[in-house]
Structure formats: C-alpha cells, structure tokens
C-alpha cells in the first residue's frame, strides 16, 4: 500500500496553533520512515478548509480515484482534510467505496468500518462546529468593539493599526494626501481619474509601495470613516479615532459626487434635470426652455426610444414631486406629541433596565464572594484541587457572563434616546420638504429633491416608479407615524 501526505494550513486565526506546513511534512515523513511506509506523493496547500473548492485537495482526491492502487492518506490531524460538510462527506464516501484504504494521523487511523466512519463524521462535525462558533464569536467581538468606538479590521488609507494599543493612529506619511483629496475634489474642478493621476504625481503610495488606483480614491471620497463615523455590516458607529476631515468637507465632496452642486455656469438651471429617467429606454431626462416654460424630455441616448418626442412641463413634474413629499409629511404638532410620549416610554424602559442592572450587580457580588471563599479553602488546603479547579472555572464563567450583560447595559444607556432623536430629525426634515421645495429657488429645489428622492422613472408622461433615499424610504413605504409605537418602530 502506498501513502500520500497532505499538509494544509490556512491564514485564518483558528489555525494559529497548528504546525506550519513544513513542520507537518517533516513530522509525517518521520512517522512514515519509522513505520517503513512508502510515501509516493506529497500535497501541500495554504487555503482555508471552511468552504469546498480547494484546488490541491481536489487534485489529490481525483488522483486517488483514477489510480488503481491502494492509497492511504497521512495527515497531521483530521481537520486538515476538511472543515466543511461537503469535503468531509467526500472523504467518508471514498473510504466507504474502498477508494481510500485508510487515513492515518500520528495518533489514530480510520478504515472502512462502521465505528471508524462514524467517528470520522463526528470529528468532521466538531471541526465544522468549531469554525461556525468561531465565526459567531468573531462577529460578536467585532460588534462589541465597534460599539465602543474601535475599528476591528485593517486600517483605511491614512491610518495605521497600532498593535500595542490595539487602536488606529494617523499615518503621518499618507494622511495629508487623504485630506488633500477631499479638498481638491470638493472644488468640482477634478474628476476622480484626474485626482488619481495628481495624487500619484505628488507621491501618494500604498503601504505596499504601489500607486493608489482610481477605485481606491473613489472609496476614500465616499468613506464616512474620515470624519469619525464608521460603517460596518449595514450600521453606522461613532468612532473614537481622530478624524482627518470635517463633516462639512465630506458633505461638500459628496455634493460634487452626486452632482447636487453645479460649478459650471449654465444659461439656465433646470432643478429636476438628471433626477428622472425614461422607463422605456433607461436614459436620463434633460430639459429645454421654450416660450417661458421649462420642458423635460428623454435624451434618447440609445437611439431606440420614441418617448423623447413627448415633452413634460416642469409644473407637472413639480406636482409629482410634491405628491411624494405629501406621502412622507407628518404634522409637526403630532410629531412633538408622539416624540414626547415615546421618550417617556423609553424612560420607563430605562428604569426597568436600571433595576435589572442592580440585580446583576448583586449577582456579581455574590459570585465574587463565592470565589473568595473557594480560594480561601484551597489555600488553607481544606478544599482539594479536584473540587477547586472545576468549581472555580464555573464561577469565573458565571462572572464573565454577568460582566458581559453589564457591559451591554452600559453600551445601551442613552442609545435608544439618541436613536429616537435621530428618527425625529428625519421625520421633521421630510415634513418640511414640501414647503422648502415650493418656496425654494431652483438650486434649493434641486437640493431637496436629490436629498430625499431617487430612481424616479417616467413613461407616457406619467410617473411609473419612485423611491426615497435612506432613511426617508421608511416613511415613504411604511405606514404613517400616528402613534407612539410607530415612532418607536422607526427607531429600531
């Protein structure tokens, strides 16, 4: 029987305690030499086994299946072969068909019998569960760090990771380039491509020493991280890192990017140009002024549409816009009533949480007293180690669980009221949109419409589709805010 050695190590954190590939190979070759086993092939791979699709692993199985000889796989540990149910099932299936004669590790061997295959399925299952649990724990830890203002990842351009302090610090070599990007782009005189070439010429390089590409510059200009607001997994978090720019400078750059600010002088400014698209061909609507009125029509950029022959007066489009603002508007007096009622309800819930926190503090004090008593007994040798060790572990686990719950309370304090305030601001802003639009000049109309609405499509001179931007989409698509529960639901 011939032997095949398979060595694998991924770059994932769970593999930090696993021997390196070279060490695995050395140990397995030594094992084969000691037992007089003939090793015909060695496969080595640096790739995670959490998902199927490892090329070297698949090549090894394909070779074994096509070969007419008996082969045994030598591996440092069974989880080196698979940490997912698909690859684990392949291994067991090949053993079941006698295509793989056996699998050996330094301490165990597995052959085609019911006990060994059952044990393999359990071990592969444990390996899969370990990966799943690790993923959950990492996500939980990342969320906790984000809520405390930390960044759980590789530092964005302009910052570096301080491994000792476990925080982000400003990269003095590149931070001024990031700030300059925002300052130059907010003037409206540069495209992102021109900005990229200019930054390369001025000396901006990544930490790997290569020029920063256009897509990276685009990501920088859209990243709220640089004024202190972190975005991760669909949520925003207030960071405790030092901002590189102000919120005003960021908003100025976004206004240029979203074409809300027009720096080129125009003979006539059309407030709704670029907001509507043709539902027939997907081209933007443009505008002309004729006989004292603004008319909007499809640009027919694809030369396939007949809609561009139909003109819509600006007054009709204004009616479309105003009707949408009516849908998101809420009476100011009613907003104040619901807001105060919601705030009062949150205070009651906070009072209940304070009582729960007091209970947890008492539980923590009780657990710590038990630890002290147990430790005194162990030191005085009245409590044997066999009893002390597991009991102390249980008490420490209980203590950590209570502290985790207390930490959640600390993070949650005042958070609900802050969210409620933000929701109220959004509702108030949406409710004022109609008045601002009707009373505003063309530039103001453009700003209000672009701030709240997008994906507006026209067909046969009628509005076919419309959407509100986040977070206003909740007001447009959901029920009217007419109760305390409605306002609280918006704040979730």
Mean pLDDT over each residue of the chain, to the nearest integer: 82
Return the structure tokens found at 409.
């309370």
Segment 240-268 mean pLDDT: 76
Other beta carbons less than 10 A from residue 226's beta carbon: 28
pLDDT band at 236 (very low <50, low <70, confident <90, very high): confident
Q: Which residues pair with 71 in a beta bridge?
A: 2, 100
User: pLDDT by residue (tens digit) across 128-181?
Assistant: 887 777 777 777 777 788 788 888 888 899 999 888 888 889 999 999 999 999
324-325-328-332 Cα dihedral, nearest 10 degrees: -160
Cβ burial, residue 119 (10 Å; 0-12/13-18/19+): middle
| C-beta separation of 243 from 227 below 8 A | yes
The answer, yes or no, to whether residue 188 has pLDDT greater than 50, is: yes
For 56-75, the pLDDT digits (tens) are 999 999 998 888 888 899 99
For residues 491 and 410, the model is more confident at 410
Beta strands, E only, 342-491: 453-459, 462-468
**Per-residue pLDDT tens for 17-37?**
456 888 888 989 999 998 888
- CB of 58 within 8 A of CB of 86? no
> Of 218 and 134, which is predicted with more confidence?
218
CA distance 23 to 32: 14
**E-assigned strands of 2-62?**
2-8, 39-45
Band of residue 478 on the pLDDT scale cut at 50, 70, 90 = low
pLDDT band at 87 (very low <50, low <70, confident <90, very high): confident
Give the pLDDT mean for 6-19: 65
Residue 423 pLDDT: 77
- Parallel/antiparallel/unpaired status of strands 39-45 and 71-75: unpaired
Q: What confidence score (pLDDT) does residue 220 get?
A: 92
For 392, residues 6+ apart whose C-beta sits below 8 A from its C-beta are 371, 374, 375, 378
Q: At residue 98, does pLDDT exceed 50?
A: yes
CA distance 152 to 142: 6
pLDDT band at residue 14 under the 50/70/90 scheme: very low
Mean pLDDT, residues 265-280? 80
d(CA 321, CA 435): 12
pLDDT given at position 103? 92
In SS3 terms, 105-173 reads as CCCCEECCCHHHHHHHHHHHHHHHHHHHHHHHHHHHHHHHHHHCCCCCCCCCCCEEEECCCCEEEECCC
Q: 391-421 burial by CB neighbour count: b if 16+ within 10 A, else e?
A: bbeebeebbeebeeebeeeeeeeeebeeebe
Please report the pLDDT score of residue 261 as a whole number: 45
pLDDT at position 179 is 92
Provide mean pLDDT across the span 205-214. Answer: 89
DSSP string, 223-263: -GGGGTEEEETTEEEE--SPPSS-HHHHHHHHHHHTT-S--
407 CB contacts (<8 Å, ≥6 apart)?
144
Helix 114-147 to helix 385-412 angle (10° resolution) is 40
Euclidean distance between the first and final Cα of the chain, in Å? 63
Q: What does residue 74 show for φ and ψ, rounded to 5 degrees?
A: -100, 125
Domain architecture of the chain: domains with CATH: 2-142 (3.40.50.1390), 167-257 (3.90.1750.20), 272-492 (no CATH)
Bridge partner residues of 109 (DSSP): 104
Calculate the alpha carbon distances from 11 to 21, 129, 138 in Å.
12, 19, 15
Chain centre to alpha carbon of residue 373? 45
Read off the pTM.
Answer: 0.36
Question: Residue written as tokens 């027009």?
Answer: 262
d(CA 278, CA 289): 19
* Confidence grade of residue 479 (pLDDT, cut at 50, 70, 90): low
């Amino acid at each position: 029987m011939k032997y095949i050695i398979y060595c694998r190590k991924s770059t994932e954190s769970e593999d930090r305690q696993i021997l390196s590939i070279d060490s695995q190979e050395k140990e397995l070759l030594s094992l084969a030499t000691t037992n007089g086993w003939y090793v015909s092939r060695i496969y080595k791979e640096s790739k995670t086994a959490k998902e199927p699709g490892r090329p070297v692993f698949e090549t090894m199985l394909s070779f074994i299946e096509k070969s007419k000889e008996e082969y045994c796989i030598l591996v440092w540990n069974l989880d080196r072969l698979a940490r997912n149910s698909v690859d684990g099932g392949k291994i067991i299936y090949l053993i079941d068909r006698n295509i793989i004669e056996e699998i050996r590790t330094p301490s165990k061997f597995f052959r085609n019998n019911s006990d060994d295959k059952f044990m393999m399925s359990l071990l592969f299952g444990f390996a899969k569960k370990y990966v799943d649990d690790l993923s959950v724990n990492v996500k939980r830890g990342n969320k906790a760090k984000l809520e405390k203002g930390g960044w759980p990842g590789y530092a964005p351009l302009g910052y570096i990771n301080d491994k000792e302090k476990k925080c982000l610090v400003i990269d003095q070599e590149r931070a001024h380039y990031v700030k300059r990007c925002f300052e130059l782009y907010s003037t409206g005189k540069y495209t992102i491509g021109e900005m990229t070439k200019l930054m390369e010429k001025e000396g901006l390089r990544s930490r790997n020493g290569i020029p920063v590409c256009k897509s990276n510059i685009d990501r920088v200009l859209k990243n709220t991280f640089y004024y202190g607001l972190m975005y991760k997994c669909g949520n925003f978090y207030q960071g405790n890192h030092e901002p590189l720019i102000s919120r005003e400078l960021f908003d100025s750059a976004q206004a240029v990017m979203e074409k809300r600010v027009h720096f080129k002088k125009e003979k006539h400014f059309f407030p709704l140009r670029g907001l509507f698209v043709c539902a027939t061909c997907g081209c933007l609507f443009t505008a002309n002024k004729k006989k004292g009125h603004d008319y909007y029509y499809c640009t027919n950029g694809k030369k396939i549409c007949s809609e561009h022959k139909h003109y819509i007066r600006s007054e009709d489009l204004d009616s479309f816009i105003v009707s949408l603002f009516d849908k998101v508007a809420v009476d100011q007096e009613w907003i104040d009533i619901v807001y105060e009622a919601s705030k009062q309800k949150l205070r009651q819930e906070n009072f209940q949480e304070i009582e729960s926190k007091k209970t947890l503090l008492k539980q923590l004090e009780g657990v710590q007293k038990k630890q002290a008593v147990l430790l005194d007994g162990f030191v005085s040798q009245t409590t044997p180690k066999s009893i002390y060790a597991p009991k102390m572990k249980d008490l420490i686990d209980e203590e950590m669980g209570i502290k985790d719950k207390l930490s959640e309370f600390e993070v949650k304090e005042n958070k609900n009221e802050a969210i409620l305030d933000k929701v109220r601001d959004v509702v108030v802003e949406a409710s004022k949109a109609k008045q601002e639009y009707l009373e505003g000049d063309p530039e103001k109309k453009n700003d209000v419409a672009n701030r709240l609405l997008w994906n507006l499509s026209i067909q046969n001179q009628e509005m076919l589709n419309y959407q509100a931007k986040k977070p206003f989409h909740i007001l447009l698509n959901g029920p009217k805010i007419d109760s305390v529960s409605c306002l609280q639901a918006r704040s979730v």
